[in-house]
Amino acid sequence: MNRNWIEIDLEAISYNITRIKKKVGKGTKVLACIKADGYGHGAISVAKTIEKKADFFGVASIKEAIELRDAGIKRPILVLSTILPEEASAVVKNDLIATVCTIPLAKALSAEAKKRKKIAKIHIKVDTGMGRIGIPPIKAIEFIKKIRAFPNLFPEGLFSHFPVADIDLCFTQKQIKIFKDLIAKLKERGIEFPFCHFANSAAILNLPGSYFNLVRPGIILYGIYPSVKIKKTVKLKPALSLKSRVVLIKEIKKGDSVSYGRTYRAKKGTAIATLPIGYADGIDRRLSNKGTILLKGKRCPVIGTICMDQLMVDVTEVKNLKIGDEAVLIGKQGKEKVSVEEIAETINTVPHEIVSRLGKRLPRLYK
């Protein structure tokens, strides 16, 4: 019997990518982002589930990509982060696609591809406003000309990234214009890319003008919206539930405190339950005295500071609760629901952080 566990509904993920494909249309390919172990859902299981529906997979590192290759995944894999020149060998050897925004990396990939008698596919990143990685648009044309001169390199894609597609459409539209203008200027010079891509999850929901011919869904693949405020233009099914079990129930009296720092003091006699799950499992400490957990279909407040391996809940209103009863931290129980979006809103973060930080010691149970 598991004390803590995660349930993953793979059928929901398959459903979600089908809905996304319908939203973007037949002329638009889909790159499924499964970095950070599939946003905590298990990258290999997710990839095997949707490999026939996704055209590409996106990961954050070569290590993540090689794990997919070792698991038998054949689809093209784009390493979305920039890498070091000394990592070029692993990219070419494993038939990966590198993100390129420096000449030294392009040179290393070219040399390695020539050595192995291969053609290395690359996607060039342009920084239209994210301020992270990528070539400034003003330097992009000359940079791309230099890249095209390297032997054994195939510039397959051109892409950029949105920082505020869910909250600032004015800035986002400016980014789209910069990207479109660059594509047009390149075309005037006889330079075209098989794939141009920009749209993340928020843009897929909000901005059809950002699709180009490839989109990169991430968080929405897993049935989670980027925020509680965004328009839900695609119907999604949440794939992940997080559960625990009650290991202790006891009564405390008025004035008694709970957990480190004594941040909670009972205003009356209170029944509390202890769950064997904490911040080492990925439960954010900011949910201390703020979070909600479902027991017997009722919402129960987290009380006191969340510990490394345990947390406490006020169960005064829960009838017939027993040791071993199931608690739901994410998901549904009875008519109640605690969503990832709700948790993120409570602690002022993004849903991506909530699921991607769920710890490795939580077993994933797939159905």
Report whether pLDDT(26) > 80. Answer: yes
Q: What is the pLDDT of residue 347?
A: 97
Is 279 labeled as catalytic in the residue annotation?
no
pLDDT at residue 96 greater than cutoff 80: yes
Phi, psi angle pair for 16, to nearest 5°:
-65, -45
Mean pLDDT across 179-191 = 98
Distance of alpha carbon 199 from alpha carbon 201, whole angstroms: 7
Query: Which is the catalytic residue, given 21, 23, 29, 35?
Result: 35
pLDDT digits (tens, 9 = 90+) for 10-20: 999 999 999 99
pLDDT surpasses 80 at 1: no
Do the annotations mark residue 308 as ligand-binding? yes
Q: Determine which of 63-72, 97-106, 221-230 has the lowest per-residue pLDDT on average.
A: 221-230
Spell out a b/e string for 33-63, using b for 16 or more CB atoms within 10 Å of the CB, else e.
bbbbbbbbbbbbbbbebbeeebebbbbeebe
> Rounded mean pLDDT of 121-126?
98
- Angle between helices 10-24 and 43-50 in degrees, nearest 10: 50
Single pTM value for the model: 0.95
Buried b (16+ CB within 10 A) or exposed e, 92-111: beeebbbbbbbeebbbbbbb
Checking if the pLDDT of 119 tops 90, the result is yes
Residues 256 and 264: their CA atoms lie apart, in Å, by: 8
Q: Can you give the pLDDT at residue 2?
A: 87
The rounded percent of the chain whose pLDDT value lies above 90 is: 98
Mean pLDDT of the chain, nearest integer: 97
Residues making up the chain, counted from first to last:
367
Instruction: Tell me how far apart the alpha carbons of residues 43 and 28 are, in angstroms, rounded to a whole number.
Output: 23
Map residue 352 onto helix, strand or coil. helix
Is 130 labeled as ligand-binding? no
Sign of the dihedral defined by the CA atoms of residues 347, 277, 352, 136, in that order: positive
**Tens of pLDDT, residues 233-287:** 999 999 999 999 999 999 999 999 999 999 999 999 999 999 999 999 999 999 9
**In the predicted structure, residue 201 carries a pLDDT above the cut 90:** yes
What is the C-alpha separation between 49 and 278, in angstroms, rounded?
30
Provide CATH 3.20.20.10 ranges for the chain.
10-222
Q: Looking at 129-282, which runs of residues are DSSP E strands?
A: 153-159, 195-197, 214-215, 240-245, 248-252, 257-258, 264-265, 270-275
The pLDDT, as a whole number, for residue 228 is: 86
Mean pLDDT, rounded, for 208-219: 97
| CATH classification code of 240-338 | 2.40.37.10
Higher pLDDT, 214 or 2: 214
Closest CA to 45 of 8, 17, 79: 8
Q: What are the DSSP E strand ranges found in 120-256?
A: 120-125, 153-159, 195-197, 214-215, 240-245, 248-252
Whether 229 shows a pLDDT value over 90: the answer reads no
Catalytic residue flag (residue 35): yes
DSSP 267-314: SS-EEEEEES--GGGT--GGGTTT-EEEETTEEEEEES---SS-EEEE
Mean pLDDT across 104-127: 98
Residue ranges, CATH 2.40.37.10, the chain? 240-338
Spell out a b/e string for 305-329, using b for 16 or more CB atoms within 10 Å of the CB, else e. bbbeebbbbbbeebeebeeebebbb
Going by C-alpha positions, the residue among 317, 337, 330 that lies closest to residue 273 is: 317
Catalytic position from the list 22, 229, 254, 260:
260
- Judge contact between 32 and 57, C-beta under 8 A: yes
Note the pLDDT tens digit of each residue in 133-157.
999 999 999 999 999 999 999 999 9
Q: Give buried/exposed letters for 224-251 (b at 16+ CB in 10 A, else e).
A: bbbeeebeeebebebbbbbbbbbeebee
Q: Could you give the count of Cα atoms lying within 13 Å of 316 in the half-sphere of its Cβ?
A: 13
Domain 10-222 grouped into CATH 3.40.605.10: no
Mean pLDDT to the nearest integer, 63-89:
97
Average pLDDT over residues 280-298: 98
With contact defined as beta carbons under 8 Å apart, do 98 and 109 qualify? yes
**How far is Cα 273 from Cα 271, in angstroms, rounded to an integer?**
7
